[in-house]
């Protein structure tokens, strides 16, 4: 079946540090890959996505590249800010009737000034 494995944390960084959150997946077919972010007290919102191999998604300084050969979609940001403190979820979706998302367990990031 489809599954997503991601770093779980929690992780604490200082402002301007480099961030990597690892995400690997197992899927049949050709999945779309997503990173969602949940800020404190809010629902999830889409951060970025990639729909095919070698696509790079980017938003708000975050980037992730869809690597089919390593089945990975790692999230990176060169310089984190206090406002990036949130929970980050990697997710996978496949078409073919279900259109459901499979989520990783989420990683809580705290950025200190």
C-alpha 110/C-alpha 93 separation (Å) is 27
Compare residues 17 and 110 and give the one whose CB is closer to another protein: 110
Q: Give the nearest distance from C-beta 31 to another protein in angstroms.
A: 9
Compare residues 45 and 83 and give the one whose CB is closer to another protein: 45
Distances (CA, A) of 53 to 12, 66, 76, 106: 31, 5, 17, 23
Contacts (Cβ under 8 Å, ≥6 apart) of 92: 2, 3, 4, 25, 27, 31, 32, 33, 34, 101, 102
Total of chain residues touching another protein, rule CB under 8 A: 23
Residues between 36 and 95 with contacts to another protein, criterion CB under 8 A: 36, 41-46, 49, 51, 89, 93-95
Binding site for another protein (CB under 8 A): 8, 32, 34, 36, 41-46, 49, 51, 89, 93-95, 99-101, 103-106
């Amino acid at each position: 079946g489809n599954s997503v494995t991601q770093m779980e944390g929690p992780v604490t960084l200082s402002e301007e540090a480099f961030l990597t959150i690892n995400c690997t997946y197992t899927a049949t077919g050709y999945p779309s890959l997503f990173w969602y972010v949940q800020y404190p007290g809010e629902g999830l919102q889409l951060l970025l996505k990639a729909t095919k191999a070698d696509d790079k998604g980017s938003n708000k300084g975050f980037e992730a590249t869809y690597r089919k050969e390593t089945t990975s979609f790692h999230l990176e940001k060169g310089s984190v800010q206090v406002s990036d403190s949130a929970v980050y979820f990697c997710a996978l979706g496949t078409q073919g009737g279900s259109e459901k998302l499979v989520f990783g367990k989420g990683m809580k990031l705290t950025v200190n000034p």
